[in-house]
A and B are shown apart, each in its own frame.
Chain A
Amino acid sequence: MAAVVRLNFACRRGLKPLFLRSTLLARPLLVSHKCQEHPYQLTTRINALHVDSVSKAASRHWTAERALSVLLLAMGPVAYFNHGPIVDFSLAAALTLHGHWGVGQALTDYVHGDAKVKIAKTGLFLLSTITFSGLCYFNYNDIGICKAIALLWGK
């Protein structure tokens, strides 16, 4: 729009250098008009043409993390009202996985370098495996997570 106004101004003045300027001004006008037409079409075409499998996996992981968080939130009230092995083992699984993924994100933020990352991620995997085993052992051989927390407040 501004380019069109400038063109008119230049024409009225009728100076030679301005004739050259007007063609330069015309170009931005053309380009921006094209951009207004095409960005949505371009992005949809790009998305359709090439989405990297790594980024797809990362995107799915992100969604899974949020889904698990919501599931864990829902488990809270259920665990409060229904003590029992199903809730105990579900809680053990959900808590361990949520913690595993959460610590994994912190590792990604703070640990750099291929070797260090590999060592850290392996250590985390071992820790999570031991954690899940320990919680399952506790649920099976002892009183279970729900009852254990309830006992702190005296049955």
Chain B
Amino acid sequence: MALILRTFVRQGVLLSRPQCGVLYRHAAPMGTTAKEEMNKFWDKNAKLNRPVSPHLTIYKWSVPMAMSITHRGTGLGLSGAISAFAVAALVLPESYPYYLDLIRSLSVGPYLIGLAKFGIVFPVSYHTYNGIRHLLWDIGKGFKIPEVYRSGYTVIGLSIITTVALLSL
């Protein structure tokens, strides 16, 4: 009994999945963090110039997989756009209404403005709805595979509906 407690109470040997019947009788104390372990992995394998096995190029794409990277893509894209807007605000001499009127006066004006509206509305809608989906996962809801697909299609559907609705205003 004491032996079990002593071995399990070592630093780092945390029971994330209590496995019955497996006794770590002589577990060495672990002094490294997950971050250190990951760095060691990358350092060693990069130094040895080991090739990485094909993964993205060969694995069959699924809807949840595609939606996940799209969530990241829209997030990065929106962040970039906000930063670009902020830099423009600092650098450009005139005011926003001035430039908006300038674009409206161009022949391609309406198309550019329509493009800007779409470029804002679709990524924001998708990222927001999928963000809610993520937050639901964070409180533990909706992990069953059929639920994942159902919530996924709901997000896609809502994004399209919101985009069409706001762009037709």
Contact = CB atoms under 8 A, between A and B. Distances in A.
A131 B88 CA distance: 10
A103 B82 contact: no
Nearest to A66: B138
A113 interface: yes
A125 to B, nearest CB: 13
Interface residues of A, number: 47
A114 to B, nearest CB: 7
A76 B88 CA distance: 24
A52 B97 CA distance: 53
B33 A42 contact: no
B96 A148 contact: yes
A138 B96 CA distance: 9
Interface stretch (B39-47, B59-67, B141-149, B153-161): B39-47
Interface of A: 28, 31-32, 34-36, 38-39, 42-43, 45-46, 49-50, 52, 54-55, 66, 69-70, 73, 76, 95-96, 99, 102-103, 106, 112-114, 127, 130-135, 137-138, 142-143, 148-149, 151-153
